[in-house]
C-alpha cells in the first residue's frame, strides 16, 4: 500500500545527508568527547562543529548553545533552571516567584508550569484570540514585580500559528524579565534570529527538523545563570551533565546546515504553496469545514482543519487504514486522544475541537503526496458523516 506521511509536526524522517553525517560517529569515531586522546579529540571537534552550525541557525554564538535530549528537556531546563534559581543563590523553589505563560503551550511547558505551581510559584496563563494568537499587551498586563520568567512558544504545534514573540521580547526586556520561547515547531521552517526576538532562552528539537529523536538544543543567552537539572561531569559548560550524544549532535548540526540551505533555496515557499493548495481544495470540496488559525501568520507546513459532525479520531484511523498519516489533538499515555487544549483555548467548541485534523508537511513531501491526500480526505469525510449520528442530527435541524 502506498503510504503518505503528513504528520511532520509529530516527527520528521531523518534526511539522507543527515543520516550519512551521523553514521561515522557510531563505530568509526566513537570516542568520548571528554577524553584526552585522539578518539576524544575527534568527537569533541565534531560536537563543536555541530554547535557552530546550530548557532548559525539561531543567530547566536556557539558558546550559547547547550545540547539536550530534545524539546522537552530544553523547556524544562529553561523553566526550572531559571525559576528554581533565585536572584541570590537559593536552593529550592521560592514561593512568590511569578511566571507568565500561555494557554496553548506544549505540555513540556504546561506541565512544567503546573509543577512550579505545586511548589509554590504562581503562573499566569495568558489567553489567545480566536485566531490562536497571544496579545503582547496581555503579557504586559500580567507582569508583576516578582515576575521571573515569560515562557511563550514561537509557533503552536497544532495550528502552526506564529506568536508575536518579538513584541513579547520587548515587553520582557522593558520589564527586565527573562524570556524563554519554545521554538520546536519553528526551527527549520522559518528563519530564527535570537537577537531580533530578544529572548534569553530558546529550545529546539532535532527530530522536528530531520535529525533523529533524542537530541535537541537550548539557546542560553550569555550571562544567563541557569541551574542545571542533571548533576555529574562538567559537560556543556556545567549546564547539562552527561556524556554527549555525539551521533545525535552531529546529526542536529547537519540538519541545521540543511535548514539554512532550504531557506536560501526558497523551498519553504514551495511547501507553503502545497499547504495552501491542500487547504483550499479541502475547503472547496467539503462542506462545514474551516482552517483553525487561518487569520494568523503560520509556519508554512501546518494546517489545522475542522470537519463539523465527525470525530477526528475516527477520521485519523480511517485515513491511516488507507495510507494517509495525519493527526488530531494530543495523544495521551494510552495513545487515545484528548480534546485539544489549544483549539478549545481558541474558542472552538469541544465538538469542533474533536473534529479537527492536523496536516503537517515535511521537506520530503511532494505535490503527488498532496494529491494523494486530496483524493482521500473529502470522500472519507463524507463516509464518516453519513454514519455519524451527530452530523445527521445537525443536518436535520438545519
Q: Report the site for other proteins in 177-216 (rule: CB under 8 A).
A: none
Q: Per CB under 8 A, does 320 bind other proteins?
A: yes
Q: Which residues of 197-242 form beta strands (DSSP E)?
A: 201-205, 216-220
In angstroms, give the least distance from the CB of 337 to other proteins: 5
Which range in 89-97, 179-187, 200-208, 329-337 contacts other proteins by CB under 8 A? 329-337
In the block, which residue shows the cell 512558544?
Answer: 153
Q: Per CB under 8 A, does 338 bind other proteins?
A: yes
71 or 312: whose CB is closer to other proteins? 312
Sign, CA torsion 202/5/308/189: positive
Count of other CB atoms within 10 angstroms of residue 69? 19
In angstroms, give the least distance from the CB of 342 to other proteins: 16
133 or 385: whose CB is closer to other proteins? 385
Q: Which of 293, 284, 290, 325 is nearest to 308 (CA)?
A: 290
Q: Per CB under 8 A, does 318 bind other proteins?
A: yes
In angstroms, give the least distance from the CB of 332 to other proteins: 8
Q: Per CB under 8 A, does 384 bind other proteins?
A: yes
Q: Are 288 and 267 in contact (CB under 8 A)?
A: no
Q: Per CB under 8 A, does 387 bind other proteins?
A: yes
Q: Residue 162, SS3?
A: strand
Q: Residue 165 has which C-alpha cell?
A: 514573540
Query: How far apart, in whole angstroms, are the C-alpha atoms of residue 381 and residue 370?
Result: 16
Contacts 24+ apart (CB under 8 A), 221-227: 221/60, 221/64, 221/194, 222/61, 222/63, 222/64, 224/82, 224/178, 224/200, 225/85, 226/77, 226/78, 226/81, 226/82, 226/85, 226/201, 227/80, 227/81, 227/82, 227/84, 227/85
Applying CB under 8 A, what is the total number of residues that bind other proteins? 21
Which range in 143-151, 180-188, 332-340, 369-377 contacts other proteins by CB under 8 A? 332-340
In angstroms, give the least distance from the CB of 238 to other proteins: 36
95 or 336: whose CB is closer to other proteins? 336
Beta-bridge partners for 388: none
Q: Per CB under 8 A, does 314 bind other proteins?
A: yes
- The radius of gyration computed from the CA coordinates of the chain, to the nearest angstrom, equals 22
Query: How far apart, in whole angstroms, are the C-alpha atoms of residue 53 and residue 342?
Result: 32
Which range in 95-103, 173-181, 297-305, 314-322 contacts other proteins by CB under 8 A? 314-322
In angstroms, give the least distance from the CB of 384 to other proteins: 5
Beta-bridge partners for 125: 101
Sign, CA torsion 113/358/1/276: negative
Contacts 24+ apart (CB under 8 A), 228-232: 228/77, 228/81, 229/73, 229/76, 229/77, 229/80, 229/81
294 or 318: whose CB is closer to other proteins? 318
Annotation marks residue 113 as catalytic: no
173 or 387: whose CB is closer to other proteins? 387
In angstroms, give the least distance from the CB of 391 to other proteins: 11
- Contact residue for other proteins among 8, 203, 210, 388 (CB under 8 A): 388
Q: Per CB under 8 A, does 336 bind other proteins?
A: yes
Which range in 82-90, 156-164, 250-258, 333-341 contacts other proteins by CB under 8 A? 333-341
In angstroms, give the least distance from the CB of 93 to other proteins: 22
* Among 60, 113, 121, 332, the one annotated catalytic: 332
53 or 380: whose CB is closer to other proteins? 380
Q: Per CB under 8 A, does 114 bind other proteins?
A: no
Active site residues: 332
List residues binding other proteins (CB under 8 A).
310-311, 313-315, 317-318, 320-321, 332-338, 383-384, 387-389
Amino acid at each position: 500500500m502506498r503510504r503518505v506521511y503528513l504528520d511532520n509536526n509529530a516527527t520528521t524522517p531523518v534526511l539522507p545527508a543527515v543520516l550519512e553525517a551521523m553514521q561515522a560517529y557510531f563505530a568509526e569515531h566513537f570516542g568520548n568527547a571528554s577524553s584526552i586522546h585522539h578518539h576524544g579529540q575527534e568527537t569533541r571537534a565534531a560536537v563543536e562543529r555541530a554547535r557552530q552550525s546550530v548557532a548559525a541557525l539561531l543567530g547566536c554564538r556557539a558558546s550559547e548553545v547547550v545540547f539536550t535530549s530534545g524539546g522537552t528537556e530544553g523547556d524544562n531546563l529553561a523553566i526550572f533552571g531559571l525559576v528554581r534559581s533565585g536572584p541570590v543563590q537559593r536552593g529550592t523553589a521560592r514561593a512568590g516567584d511569578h511566571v507568565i505563560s500561555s494557554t496553548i503551550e506544549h505540555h513540556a511547558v504546561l506541565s512544567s508550569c503546573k509543577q512550579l505551581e505545586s511548589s509554590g510559584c504562581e503562573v499566569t496563563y495568558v489567553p489567545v484570540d480566536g485566531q490562536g494568537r497571544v496579545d503582547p499587551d496581555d503579557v504586559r498586563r500580567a507582569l508583576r514585580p516578582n515576575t521571573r520568567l515569560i515562557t511563550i512558544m514561537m509557533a503552536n504545534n497544532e495550528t502552526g500559528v506564529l506568536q508575536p514573540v518579538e513584541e513579547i521580547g520587548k515587553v520582557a526586556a522593558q520589564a527586565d524579565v527573562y524570556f524563554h520561547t519554545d521554538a520546536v515547531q519553528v526551527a527549520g521552517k522559518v528563519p530564527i534570529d535570537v537577537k531580533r526576538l530578544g529572548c534569553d532562552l530558546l529550545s529546539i528539537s532535532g527530530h522536528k527538523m530531520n535529525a533523529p529523536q533524542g537530541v535537541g538544543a537550548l539557546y542560553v543567552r550569555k550571562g544567563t545563570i541557569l541551574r542545571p537539572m542533571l548533576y555529574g561531569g562538567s559537560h556543556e559548560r556545567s549546564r547539562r551533565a552527561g556524556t554527549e550524544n555525539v551521533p545525535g549532535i552531529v546529526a542536529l548540526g547537519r540538519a541545521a546546515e540543511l535548514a539554512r540551505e532550504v531557506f536560501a533555496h526558497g523551498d519553504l515557499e514551495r511547501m507553503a504553496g502545497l499547504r495552501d493548495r491542500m487547504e483550499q481544495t479541502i475547503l472547496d470540496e467539503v462542506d462545514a469545514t474551516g482552517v483553525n488559525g487561518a487569520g494568523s501568520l503560520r509556519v508554512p507546513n501546518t494546517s489545522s482543519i475542522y470537519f463539523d459532525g465527525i470525530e477526528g479520531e475516527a477520521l485519523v484511523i480511517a485515513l491511516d487504514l488507507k495510507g494517509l498519516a495525519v493527526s488530531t489533538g494530543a495523544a495521551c499515555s494510552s495513545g487515545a486522544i484528548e480534546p485539544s487544549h489549544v483549539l478549545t483555548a481558541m474558542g472552538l467548541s469541544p465538538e469542533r475541537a474533536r473534529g479537527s485534523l492536523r496536516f503537517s508537511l515535511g521537506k520530503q513531501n511532494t505535490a503527488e503526496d498532496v494529491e494523494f491526500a486530496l483524493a482521500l480526505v473529502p470522500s472519507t469525510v463524507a463516509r464518516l458523516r453519513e454514519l455519524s449520528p451527530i452530523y445527521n442530527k445537525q443536518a436535520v435541524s438545519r
